[in-house]
Protein backbone atom coordinates (compact mmCIF):
# COMPACT_ATOMS: atom_id res chain seq x y z
CA UNK A 1 0.00 0.00 0.00
CA UNK A 2 1.51 3.41 -0.95
CA UNK A 3 2.84 5.59 1.85
CA UNK A 4 1.99 9.10 2.85
CA UNK A 5 4.94 11.31 3.81
CA UNK A 6 4.57 14.11 6.35
CA UNK A 7 7.25 16.71 7.14
CA UNK A 8 6.91 19.04 10.10
CA UNK A 9 8.28 22.56 9.71
CA UNK A 10 8.08 24.09 13.21
CA UNK A 11 9.01 27.65 12.25
CA UNK A 12 6.61 30.61 12.28
CA UNK A 13 6.80 34.37 11.83
CA UNK A 14 4.92 34.77 15.11
CA UNK A 15 3.44 32.41 17.70
CA UNK A 16 -0.35 32.75 17.75
CA UNK A 17 -1.84 32.94 21.25
CA UNK A 18 -4.13 29.95 20.63
CA UNK A 19 -1.44 27.67 19.18
CA UNK A 20 -0.62 24.48 21.10
CA UNK A 21 1.49 22.88 18.36
CA UNK A 22 5.21 22.21 18.59
CA UNK A 23 6.13 25.35 16.69
CA UNK A 24 7.49 28.80 17.36
CA UNK A 25 9.67 31.71 16.30
CA UNK A 26 13.32 30.67 15.88
CA UNK A 27 16.45 32.16 14.42
CA UNK A 28 16.83 31.58 10.69
CA UNK A 29 20.29 30.27 11.48
CA UNK A 30 18.59 27.09 12.68
CA UNK A 31 16.66 26.53 9.45
CA UNK A 32 19.51 24.97 7.46
CA UNK A 33 20.59 22.81 10.38
CA UNK A 34 17.04 21.56 10.74
CA UNK A 35 16.79 20.79 7.03
CA UNK A 36 20.06 18.83 7.28
CA UNK A 37 18.67 16.67 10.08
CA UNK A 38 15.31 16.06 8.40
CA UNK A 39 16.75 15.18 4.98
CA UNK A 40 19.20 12.74 6.58
CA UNK A 41 16.31 11.15 8.45
CA UNK A 42 14.32 10.80 5.23
CA UNK A 43 17.26 9.06 3.57
CA UNK A 44 17.26 6.58 6.47
CA UNK A 45 13.59 5.60 5.99
CA UNK A 46 14.12 1.96 5.06
CA UNK A 47 16.31 1.39 8.10
CA UNK A 48 13.67 3.09 10.23
CA UNK A 49 11.01 0.67 8.98
CA UNK A 50 13.32 -2.26 9.71
CA UNK A 51 13.84 -0.99 13.27
CA UNK A 52 10.06 -0.84 13.66
CA UNK A 53 9.77 -4.45 12.40
CA UNK A 54 7.42 -3.24 9.68
CA UNK A 55 7.17 -3.53 5.94
CA UNK A 56 8.56 -0.69 3.83
CA UNK A 57 7.10 0.47 0.56
CA UNK A 58 8.93 3.12 -1.46
CA UNK A 59 5.75 4.06 -3.34
CA UNK A 60 4.31 7.37 -2.14
CA UNK A 61 0.99 8.88 -3.22
CA UNK A 62 0.67 11.80 -0.79
CA UNK A 63 3.09 14.35 0.64
CA UNK A 64 2.20 16.94 3.27
CA UNK A 65 4.37 19.74 4.65
CA UNK A 66 2.80 21.12 7.80
CA UNK A 67 3.82 23.12 10.77
CA UNK A 68 4.36 25.72 11.82
CA UNK A 69 4.56 27.62 8.59
CA UNK A 70 6.50 25.83 5.83
CA UNK A 71 6.19 28.89 3.59
CA UNK A 72 8.63 30.82 5.84
CA UNK A 73 11.43 28.59 4.52
CA UNK A 74 13.66 29.92 1.77
CA UNK A 75 13.02 28.50 -1.72
CA UNK A 76 16.24 26.46 -1.68
CA UNK A 77 15.29 24.95 1.69
CA UNK A 78 11.90 23.88 0.41
CA UNK A 79 13.59 22.42 -2.65
CA UNK A 80 15.98 20.38 -0.48
CA UNK A 81 13.09 18.79 1.41
CA UNK A 82 11.34 17.74 -1.78
CA UNK A 83 14.59 16.52 -3.33
CA UNK A 84 15.14 14.30 -0.29
CA UNK A 85 11.68 12.79 -0.68
CA UNK A 86 12.16 12.09 -4.38
CA UNK A 87 15.64 10.65 -3.81
CA UNK A 88 14.28 8.15 -1.28
CA UNK A 89 10.76 7.35 -2.50
CA UNK A 90 8.99 6.63 -5.76
CA UNK A 91 6.46 9.45 -5.83
CA UNK A 92 3.39 8.75 -7.95
CA UNK A 93 2.87 11.19 -10.85
CA UNK A 94 -0.63 11.90 -9.56
CA UNK A 95 0.37 12.19 -5.89
CA UNK A 96 -1.40 14.77 -3.77
CA UNK A 97 1.30 17.23 -2.65
CA UNK A 98 0.19 19.73 0.01
CA UNK A 99 2.02 22.58 1.70
CA UNK A 100 0.56 24.59 4.56
CA UNK A 101 1.01 28.34 4.12
CA UNK A 102 0.14 31.37 6.21
CA UNK A 103 -1.45 34.28 4.38
CA UNK A 104 1.14 36.98 3.92
CA UNK A 105 4.02 34.55 3.30
CA UNK A 106 3.07 33.65 -0.27
CA UNK A 107 5.39 35.55 -2.60
CA UNK A 108 5.78 34.96 -6.35
CA UNK A 109 9.16 33.35 -5.58
CA UNK A 110 7.59 30.93 -3.10
CA UNK A 111 4.80 30.09 -5.55
CA UNK A 112 7.34 29.34 -8.29
CA UNK A 113 9.22 27.08 -5.87
CA UNK A 114 6.04 25.23 -4.94
CA UNK A 115 5.29 24.62 -8.61
CA UNK A 116 8.85 23.48 -9.29
CA UNK A 117 8.57 21.01 -6.38
CA UNK A 118 5.33 19.54 -7.73
CA UNK A 119 3.02 21.06 -5.13
CA UNK A 120 -0.59 20.85 -6.32
CA UNK A 121 -2.47 21.67 -3.12
CA UNK A 122 -2.11 24.50 -0.59
CA UNK A 123 -3.70 24.65 2.84
CA UNK A 124 -4.13 28.23 4.06
CA UNK A 125 -4.22 28.93 7.80
CA UNK A 126 -6.73 31.76 7.57
CA UNK A 127 -8.60 31.01 10.84
CA UNK A 128 -10.90 34.04 10.34
CA UNK A 129 -11.84 36.51 7.63
CA UNK A 130 -12.64 39.11 10.29
CA UNK A 131 -9.59 41.29 10.92
CA UNK A 132 -10.42 42.03 14.57
CA UNK A 133 -10.51 38.31 15.36
CA UNK A 134 -7.25 37.66 13.51
CA UNK A 135 -5.43 40.50 15.28
CA UNK A 136 -6.68 39.39 18.70
CA UNK A 137 -4.76 36.08 18.47
CA UNK A 138 -1.62 37.48 16.88
CA UNK A 139 -2.22 36.71 13.22
CA UNK A 140 -0.31 39.07 10.93
CA UNK A 141 -2.56 38.89 7.88
CA UNK A 142 -5.77 40.65 6.96
CA UNK A 143 -8.74 39.59 4.87
CA UNK A 144 -7.37 41.61 1.96
CA UNK A 145 -4.00 39.86 2.14
CA UNK A 146 -5.69 36.47 2.21
CA UNK A 147 -7.78 37.23 -0.87
CA UNK A 148 -4.69 38.50 -2.73
CA UNK A 149 -2.77 35.33 -1.87
CA UNK A 150 -5.61 33.15 -3.11
CA UNK A 151 -5.66 35.08 -6.39
CA UNK A 152 -1.89 34.65 -6.77
CA UNK A 153 -2.09 30.90 -6.19
CA UNK A 154 -4.95 30.48 -8.62
CA UNK A 155 -3.24 32.53 -11.30
CA UNK A 156 -0.21 30.26 -10.94
CA UNK A 157 -2.35 27.17 -11.52
CA UNK A 158 -2.66 25.95 -7.91
CA UNK A 159 -6.43 25.79 -7.56
CA UNK A 160 -6.76 22.89 -5.11
CA UNK A 161 -6.97 25.04 -1.99
CA UNK A 162 -8.04 24.35 1.58
CA UNK A 163 -8.88 26.99 4.17
CA UNK A 164 -8.70 26.54 7.94
CA UNK A 165 -11.23 28.31 10.16
CA UNK A 166 -11.40 28.32 13.96
CA UNK A 167 -14.69 28.53 15.85
CA UNK A 168 -14.47 30.22 19.24
CA UNK A 169 -11.85 32.94 18.66
CA UNK A 170 -11.91 36.06 20.84
CA UNK A 171 -14.53 38.63 19.76
CA UNK A 172 -16.29 36.05 17.56
CA UNK A 173 -20.07 36.31 17.35
CA UNK A 174 -22.71 34.47 15.37
CA UNK A 175 -22.69 37.36 12.89
CA UNK A 176 -18.91 37.53 12.48
CA UNK A 177 -18.71 33.74 12.18
CA UNK A 178 -21.30 33.93 9.43
CA UNK A 179 -19.06 36.48 7.68
CA UNK A 180 -16.16 34.01 7.62
CA UNK A 181 -18.40 31.20 6.38
CA UNK A 182 -19.91 33.41 3.68
CA UNK A 183 -16.44 34.45 2.53
CA UNK A 184 -15.11 30.92 2.30
CA UNK A 185 -18.16 29.89 0.25
CA UNK A 186 -17.94 32.94 -2.02
CA UNK A 187 -14.26 32.29 -2.69
CA UNK A 188 -15.20 28.83 -3.96
CA UNK A 189 -12.39 26.78 -2.42
CA UNK A 190 -12.86 23.00 -2.69
CA UNK A 191 -11.87 22.16 0.91
CA UNK A 192 -12.49 23.71 4.34
CA UNK A 193 -11.32 22.60 7.80
CA UNK A 194 -13.22 23.86 10.85
CA UNK A 195 -11.54 23.46 14.22
CA UNK A 196 -12.81 24.34 17.67
CA UNK A 197 -10.65 26.58 19.82
CA UNK A 198 -8.75 24.25 22.13
CA UNK A 199 -8.43 25.34 25.75
CA UNK A 200 -5.47 23.70 27.46
CA UNK A 201 -2.18 24.52 29.16
CA UNK A 202 -0.20 24.23 25.93
CA UNK A 203 -1.17 27.68 24.63
CA UNK A 204 -0.96 31.16 26.13
CA UNK A 205 -4.62 31.84 25.44
CA UNK A 206 -5.63 28.49 26.91
CA UNK A 207 -3.69 29.09 30.12
CA UNK A 208 -5.17 32.57 30.46
CA UNK A 209 -8.70 31.24 29.96
CA UNK A 210 -8.17 28.52 32.56
CA UNK A 211 -6.88 31.16 34.99
CA UNK A 212 -9.86 33.43 34.36
CA UNK A 213 -7.64 36.27 33.16
CA UNK A 214 -7.98 38.95 30.51
CA UNK A 215 -4.66 38.82 28.64
CA UNK A 216 -4.71 37.79 24.97
CA UNK A 217 -8.37 38.91 24.80
CA UNK A 218 -9.32 35.84 26.85
CA UNK A 219 -12.39 37.57 28.30
CA UNK A 220 -13.76 37.95 24.77
CA UNK A 221 -13.67 34.21 24.00
CA UNK A 222 -17.20 32.84 23.40
CA UNK A 223 -18.49 30.32 25.92
CA UNK A 224 -18.65 26.60 25.15
CA UNK A 225 -22.30 26.65 24.13
CA UNK A 226 -21.75 29.47 21.65
CA UNK A 227 -18.68 27.75 20.20
CA UNK A 228 -20.63 24.52 19.78
CA UNK A 229 -23.36 26.50 18.02
CA UNK A 230 -20.74 28.00 15.68
CA UNK A 231 -19.51 24.51 14.82
CA UNK A 232 -23.03 23.31 14.05
CA UNK A 233 -23.66 26.48 12.04
CA UNK A 234 -20.55 25.69 9.97
CA UNK A 235 -21.77 22.14 9.35
CA UNK A 236 -25.19 23.33 8.21
CA UNK A 237 -23.88 26.22 6.10
CA UNK A 238 -21.06 24.39 4.35
CA UNK A 239 -23.14 21.27 3.68
CA UNK A 240 -25.86 23.50 2.27
CA UNK A 241 -23.33 25.10 -0.08
CA UNK A 242 -22.15 21.76 -1.48
CA UNK A 243 -19.01 21.60 0.67
CA UNK A 244 -19.91 18.35 2.38
CA UNK A 245 -18.63 17.23 5.75
CA UNK A 246 -16.68 13.99 5.42
CA UNK A 247 -14.88 14.00 8.80
CA UNK A 248 -15.46 15.70 12.14
CA UNK A 249 -13.46 18.79 11.20
CA UNK A 250 -13.23 18.54 7.42
CA UNK A 251 -15.49 19.51 4.52
CA UNK A 252 -14.96 19.16 0.79
CA UNK A 253 -16.62 19.41 -2.56
CA UNK A 254 -17.10 15.99 -4.19
CA UNK A 255 -13.77 14.35 -4.97
CA UNK A 256 -11.71 16.99 -3.15
CA UNK A 257 -11.26 15.25 0.21
CA UNK A 258 -7.72 15.36 1.60
CA UNK A 259 -6.16 12.12 0.38
CA UNK A 260 -3.30 12.49 2.82
CA UNK A 261 -5.40 13.02 5.94
CA UNK A 262 -7.67 10.14 4.98
CA UNK A 263 -4.66 7.88 5.54
CA UNK A 264 -4.77 8.71 9.25
CA UNK A 265 -8.41 7.81 9.68
CA UNK A 266 -8.29 4.73 7.45
CA UNK A 267 -5.13 3.41 9.14
CA UNK A 268 -3.07 3.50 5.96
CA UNK A 269 0.72 3.69 6.36
CA UNK A 270 2.55 7.00 6.60
CA UNK A 271 5.95 8.27 7.71
CA UNK A 272 6.52 11.54 9.54
CA UNK A 273 9.75 13.53 9.79
CA UNK A 274 10.77 16.53 11.87
CA UNK A 275 9.59 17.88 15.22
CA UNK A 276 6.58 16.10 16.76
CA UNK A 277 5.94 14.03 13.63
CA UNK A 278 4.05 10.76 13.90
CA UNK A 279 4.28 7.62 11.80
CA UNK A 280 2.31 4.40 11.38
CA UNK A 281 3.53 1.35 9.48
CA UNK A 282 1.91 -2.03 9.08
CA UNK A 283 3.32 -5.22 10.41
CA UNK A 284 1.22 -8.34 10.06
CA UNK A 285 -2.53 -8.22 9.53
CA UNK A 286 -4.14 -5.27 11.34
CA UNK A 287 -1.19 -4.85 13.69
CA UNK A 288 1.82 -2.61 13.23
CA UNK A 289 3.82 0.13 14.90
CA UNK A 290 3.23 3.77 15.73
CA UNK A 291 6.22 5.98 16.46
CA UNK A 292 6.91 9.65 16.91
CA UNK A 293 9.70 12.17 17.20
CA UNK A 294 10.30 14.56 20.10
CA UNK A 295 8.20 17.71 20.28
CA UNK A 296 11.31 19.68 21.25
CA UNK A 297 13.42 21.32 18.53
CA UNK A 298 16.70 20.90 20.43
CA UNK A 299 16.02 17.19 20.88
CA UNK A 300 15.29 16.86 17.19
CA UNK A 301 18.51 18.63 16.23
CA UNK A 302 20.49 16.47 18.66
CA UNK A 303 19.15 13.20 17.26
CA UNK A 304 16.90 12.08 20.12
CA UNK A 305 15.49 8.65 19.15
CA UNK A 306 11.86 8.17 18.26
CA UNK A 307 9.37 6.69 20.70
CA UNK A 308 7.83 3.41 19.49
CA UNK A 309 4.49 1.87 20.42
CA UNK A 310 3.40 -1.49 19.09
CA UNK A 311 -0.12 -1.72 17.70
CA UNK A 312 -1.24 -5.09 19.06
CA UNK A 313 -4.58 -6.67 18.28
CA UNK A 314 -6.39 -4.83 21.11
CA UNK A 315 -4.97 -1.47 20.01
CA UNK A 316 -5.89 -2.21 16.40
CA UNK A 317 -9.49 -2.84 17.45
CA UNK A 318 -9.65 0.45 19.32
CA UNK A 319 -8.18 2.35 16.37
CA UNK A 320 -10.61 0.81 13.93
CA UNK A 321 -13.46 2.27 15.97
CA UNK A 322 -12.26 5.69 17.09
CA UNK A 323 -10.46 6.60 13.86
CA UNK A 324 -13.12 5.19 11.54
CA UNK A 325 -15.93 6.92 13.38
CA UNK A 326 -14.32 10.30 12.73
CA UNK A 327 -15.47 9.88 9.13
CA UNK A 328 -19.06 10.77 8.29
CA UNK A 329 -19.52 7.49 6.49
CA UNK A 330 -18.72 5.70 9.74
CA UNK A 331 -17.48 2.14 10.12
CA UNK A 332 -18.48 -1.18 8.62
CA UNK A 333 -18.83 -3.55 11.58
CA UNK A 334 -18.60 -6.60 9.34
CA UNK A 335 -15.31 -5.40 7.89
CA UNK A 336 -13.93 -4.85 11.38
CA UNK A 337 -15.08 -8.33 12.40
CA UNK A 338 -13.33 -9.83 9.39
CA UNK A 339 -10.10 -7.94 10.15
CA UNK A 340 -10.05 -8.11 13.95
CA UNK A 341 -12.32 -11.05 14.72
CA UNK A 342 -15.94 -11.31 15.81
CA UNK A 343 -15.12 -10.70 19.52
CA UNK A 344 -14.15 -7.11 18.65
CA UNK A 345 -17.83 -6.47 17.88
CA UNK A 346 -19.43 -8.77 20.43
CA UNK A 347 -17.74 -7.20 23.45
CA UNK A 348 -18.71 -3.71 22.28
CA UNK A 349 -22.29 -4.57 21.32
CA UNK A 350 -23.83 -3.30 24.61
CA UNK A 351 -21.85 -0.07 24.28
CA UNK A 352 -22.92 0.41 20.65
CA UNK A 353 -26.55 -0.19 21.63
CA UNK A 354 -26.35 2.30 24.50
CA UNK A 355 -24.73 4.96 22.33
CA UNK A 356 -27.41 4.44 19.68
CA UNK A 357 -30.20 4.77 22.25
CA UNK A 358 -28.63 8.03 23.44
CA UNK A 359 -28.73 9.37 19.89
CA UNK A 360 -24.94 9.51 19.52
CA UNK A 361 -24.65 6.73 16.92
CA UNK A 362 -26.96 5.74 14.09
CA UNK A 363 -27.09 3.05 11.39
CA UNK A 364 -26.23 4.16 7.85
CA UNK A 365 -26.80 1.30 5.43
CA UNK A 366 -24.20 -1.33 6.30
CA UNK A 367 -22.29 1.14 8.48
CA UNK A 368 -22.72 2.76 11.84
CA UNK A 369 -21.76 6.40 12.27
CA UNK A 370 -21.85 9.37 14.63
CA UNK A 371 -24.95 11.54 14.66
CA UNK A 372 -24.66 15.33 14.68
CA UNK A 373 -24.84 15.26 18.47
CA UNK A 374 -22.38 12.40 18.53
CA UNK A 375 -19.79 14.55 16.78
CA UNK A 376 -20.12 17.16 19.50
CA UNK A 377 -19.57 14.44 22.08
CA UNK A 378 -17.07 12.44 20.05
CA UNK A 379 -14.41 12.16 22.75
CA UNK A 380 -16.90 10.54 25.13
CA UNK A 381 -18.08 8.16 22.40
CA UNK A 382 -14.52 7.13 21.56
CA UNK A 383 -13.60 6.66 25.22
CA UNK A 384 -16.49 4.29 25.74
CA UNK A 385 -15.68 2.23 22.67
CA UNK A 386 -12.06 1.87 23.76
CA UNK A 387 -13.02 0.19 27.05
CA UNK A 388 -11.29 -3.18 27.34
CA UNK A 389 -13.54 -4.58 30.08
CA UNK A 390 -16.87 -5.71 28.59
CA UNK A 391 -18.40 -5.80 32.06
CA UNK A 392 -18.02 -2.04 32.44
CA UNK A 393 -21.28 -0.14 32.50
CA UNK A 394 -21.81 1.02 28.89
CA UNK A 395 -24.25 3.81 29.76
CA UNK A 396 -23.34 7.39 28.87
CA UNK A 397 -24.72 10.40 30.76
CA UNK A 398 -27.43 12.04 28.71
CA UNK A 399 -25.88 15.49 29.27
CA UNK A 400 -22.19 14.77 28.89
CA UNK A 401 -19.97 17.86 28.57
CA UNK A 402 -19.40 19.12 25.06
CA UNK A 403 -16.05 17.90 23.77
CA UNK A 404 -15.06 18.19 20.15
CA UNK A 405 -12.04 16.44 18.68
CA UNK A 406 -10.57 19.16 16.46
CA UNK A 407 -7.13 17.80 15.64
CA UNK A 408 -5.78 17.57 12.07
CA UNK A 409 -4.74 14.03 12.51
CA UNK A 410 -1.80 12.28 14.06
CA UNK A 411 0.65 14.40 12.13
pLDDT tens track for 6-20 = 999 999 888 887 877
- Assigned domain for 9 exists: yes
Q: Could you tell me if 26 and 121 lie in one domain?
A: yes
pLDDT tens track for 214-271 = 998 989 999 999 999 999 999 999 999 999 999 999 999 999 999 999 999 999 999 9
Mean per-residue pLDDT, 87-94? 98
Residue 410 reports pLDDT greater than 50 = no
Domain residues for the domain of 348 are 332-411
DSSP state of 113: H
Q: Could you tell me if 174 and 89 lie in one domain?
A: yes
Instruction: Look at residue 391 and give its three-state secondary structure.
Output: coil
pTM of the predicted protein model: 0.91
pLDDT tens track for 343-354 = 999 999 999 999
Domains identified in the chain, total number: 2
Q: Which one of 218, 236, 264 terminates a domain? A: 264
pLDDT tens track for 272-291 = 999 999 999 998 667 899 99
| pLDDT for the residue 275 | 95
Mean per-residue pLDDT, 286-308? 93
pLDDT tens track for 186-202 = 999 999 999 988 888 87
Q: Could you tell me if 224 and 371 lie in one domain?
A: no
Q: Could you tell me if 259 and 402 lie in one domain?
A: no
- Assigned domain for 63 exists: yes
Computed over every residue of the chain, the mean pLDDT equals 90
| pLDDT for the residue 6 | 98
pLDDT tens track for 108-137 = 999 999 999 999 999 999 999 999 999 998
DSSP one-letter string for 217-261: GGGGSPPHHHHHHHHHHHHHHHHHTT-EEEETTEEESTT-S-HHH
Residue 74 reports pLDDT greater than 90 = yes
Listed in sequence order, the residues at least 6 apart from 78 whose beta carbon sits closer than 8 Å to its beta carbon are 65, 70, 99, 110, 113, 114, 117
Q: Which one of 264, 285, 310 terminates a domain? A: 264
pLDDT tens track for 46-71 = 999 999 999 899 999 999 999 889 99
| pLDDT for the residue 200 | 82
Q: Which one of 229, 245, 264 terminates a domain? A: 264
| pLDDT for the residue 52 | 93
Q: Could you tell me if 226 and 339 lie in one domain?
A: no
Can the peptide bond before residue 68 be classed as cis, meaning omega within 30 degrees of 0? Answer: yes
Give the burial class of 225: count Cβ atoms within 10 A of its Cβ; 0-12 exposed, 13-18 middle, 19 or more buried: exposed
Amino acid sequence: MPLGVYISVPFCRTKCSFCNFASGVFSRELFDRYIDVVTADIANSESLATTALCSFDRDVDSIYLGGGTPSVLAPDQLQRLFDAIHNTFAVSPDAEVTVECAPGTITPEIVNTLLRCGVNRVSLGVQSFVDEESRSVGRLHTRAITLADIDLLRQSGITNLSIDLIAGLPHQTAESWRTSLDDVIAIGVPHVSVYMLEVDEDSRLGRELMAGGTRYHAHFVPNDDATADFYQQACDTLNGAGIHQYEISNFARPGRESRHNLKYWLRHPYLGFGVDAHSMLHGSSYEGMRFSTSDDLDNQLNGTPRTFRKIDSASAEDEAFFLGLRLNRGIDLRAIAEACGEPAIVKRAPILDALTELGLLEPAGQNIRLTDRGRLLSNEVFERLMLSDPATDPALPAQAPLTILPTRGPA
